[in-house]
């Protein structure tokens, strides 16, 4: 078995229970369509006060200091091929003074809610207000490291399946071609265009690996569509915005086919999804 570059640079979390046997570190980024669902990562779940333990499905960390994976945004595609992030119906949680709106639903056999995204300050983004008036379409971001995105589509255009027709062969010289075609987008941020800090960043990838995995996993069958996976693009370490195939330097960390955070070299594998958890912040003050 060849040496694992990531293991040499950053030892993988030893307590993490991986749900795909035999997939360790950066090896998952190279040749395996390793997506599944069984393990719960509770190793980063501190005790103490907070908004409670939130379980979510996210892509795994396979290197670097990030404590846990970045959450998925379940994807749906409308009749014209435009991609949306699923936003659950709003209900009231709790009672009396504790009553508060929450966007929550059952999807693919698990509970999906807006609580998945309550970290790194995203929890106070206006778009994450359960009742925010948003259409949920993914829109291309203002700036992108991807040449194809800069040349073929415009910022704020809605993302369409047709833009990704070459996803089975696309490459940009970083890592292998044909692993997946990416875009950077925004979600539920149409009312905060003047406030970059309030924009919710999304990494989109269309990949045959996701297509295959969706046939094997009830959750991925429900949360991905036509090979598209969407990820809230906020690093769980110190909240930078990582990227898929954005930096040739990522190859040094075994991340040429993965998602790399340039701030402190965390590596995420967009093709390994597991159930994870964190302690959410308490509800923001003033939200009754």
User: Is residue 66 near ligand FES by the rule CB under 6 A?
Assistant: yes
Distance CA 29, CA 86 (A): 27
Contact between 256 and 19 under an 8 Å Cβ cutoff? The reply is no
Binder among 237, 243, 258, 278 for ligand FES (CB under 6 A): 237
Q: Which residue in 13, 36, 58, 64 binds ligand FES (CB under 6 A)? A: 64
* C-alpha torsion sign, points 164, 170, 175, 176: positive
Q: Which is nearer to ligand FES, 64 or 254 (CB)?
A: 64
Contact predicate 158/139, CB 8 Å: yes
Q: Does 238 bind ligand FES (CB under 6 A)?
A: yes
Residue pair 257/274 in contact (Cβ under 8 Å)? The answer is no
174 binds ligand FES (CB under 6 A): no
Cβ atoms of 39 and 19 within 8 Å: the answer is yes
Which residue in 28, 30, 34 sits closest to 62, CA to CA?
A: 28
CB of 254 to ligand FES, least distance (A): 14
Only one of the segments 27-35, 125-133, 187-195, 233-241 lies at the binding site for ligand FES (rule: CB under 6 A); that segment is 233-241
Residue 121: which of 186, 61, 66, 200 has the closest Cα?
A: 200
266 lines the binding site for ligand FES (CB under 6 A)? yes
Nearer to ligand FES, 17 or 264 (CB): 264
Category of 239 on φ-ψ map: left (φ > 0), alpha (ψ -120 to 50) or beta: left
Shortest Cβ 260–ligand FES spacing (Å): 9
204 touches ligand FES by CB under 6 A: no
Question: Could you say whether residue 67 binds ligand FES (CB under 6 A)?
Answer: no
Strand partners, 201: 186
What is the total count of residues that contact ligand FES (CB under 6 A)? 11
Residues lying near ligand FES in the complex (CB under 6 A): 64-66, 235, 237-238, 240, 261, 263-264, 266
């Amino acid at each position: 078995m060849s040496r694992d570059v990531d293991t040499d640079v950053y030892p993988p979390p030893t307590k993490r229970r991986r749900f795909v046997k035999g997939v360790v570190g950066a090896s998952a980024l190279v040749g395996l369509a390793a997506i599944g669902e069984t393990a719960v990562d509770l190793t980063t779940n501190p005790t103490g006060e907070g908004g409670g333990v939130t379980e979510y499905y996210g892509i795994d960390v396979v290197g670097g200091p990030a404590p846990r994976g970045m959450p998925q945004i379940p994807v749906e595609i409308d009749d014209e091929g435009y991609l949306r992030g699923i936003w659950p119906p709003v209900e009231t949680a709790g009672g009396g003074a504790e009553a508060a709106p929450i966007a929550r639903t059952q999807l693919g056999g698990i509970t999906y809610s807006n609580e998945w995204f309550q970290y790194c300050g995203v929890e106070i983004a206006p778009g994450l207000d359960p009742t925010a008036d948003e259409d949920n379409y993914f829109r291309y971001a203002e700036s992108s490291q991807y040449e194809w995105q800069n040349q073929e589509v415009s910022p704020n255009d809605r993302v369409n399946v047709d833009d990704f027709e070459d996803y089975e062969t696309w490459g940009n010289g970083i890592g292998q071609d044909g692993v997946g075609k990416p875009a950077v987008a925004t979600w539920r941020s149409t009312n905060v265009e003047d406030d970059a800090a309030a924009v919710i960043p999304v990494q989109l990838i269309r990949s045959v690996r996701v297509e295959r995995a969706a046939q094997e996993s009830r959750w991925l069958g429900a949360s991905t569509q036509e090979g598209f996976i969407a990820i809230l693009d906020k690093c769980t370490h110190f909240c930078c915005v990582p990227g898929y195939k954005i930096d040739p330097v990522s190859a040094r960390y075994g991340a040429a086919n993965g998602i790399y955070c340039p701030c402190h070299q965390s590596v995420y594998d967009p093709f390994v999804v597991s159930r994870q958890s964190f302690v959410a912040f308490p509800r923001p003050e003033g939200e009754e």
